[in-house]
Amino acid sequence: MAVPVVDQELCIGCGVCAELCPEVFEIRDEKSLVIGPDRCDSCDCEEAVASCPVSAIELVDNT
Ligand code: SF4
């Protein structure tokens, strides 16, 4: 299964990913934190990846 990883250097804390996938991403200290890496079944993590304005999210295969 692919899990999302956020590059903390790139993230500008815009909140788009947390809006699309609130069970996966949470904004803390103006950065996106992956709180539910296995919850991409609850939303479209690929859309979050595509919607990030600074391409800070990557889907990494953890199998
Ligand atoms: S969409 Fe991208 S820049 Fe915006 S909070 Fe999420 S990871 Fe950070």
Domains of the chain: 2-61 (3.30.70.20)
Q: Please give the C-alpha separations between residue 52 and each of 10, 25, 33, 63, in angstroms, as whole numbers.
A: 10, 12, 14, 24
**Ligand 1 pocket, residue 11 CB under 6 Å:** yes
For the CA of 6, the nearest atom of ligand 1: 7
Which protein residue has the closest C-alpha to ligand 1 atom 8?
Answer: 11
pLDDT of residue 1: 80
Q: Whole-prediction pTM value?
A: 0.95
**Ligand 1 pocket, residue 15 CB under 6 Å:** yes
pLDDT in tens, 3-62: 999 999 999 999 999 999 999 999 999 999 999 999 999 999 999 999 999 999 999 998
pLDDT > 80? residue 63: no
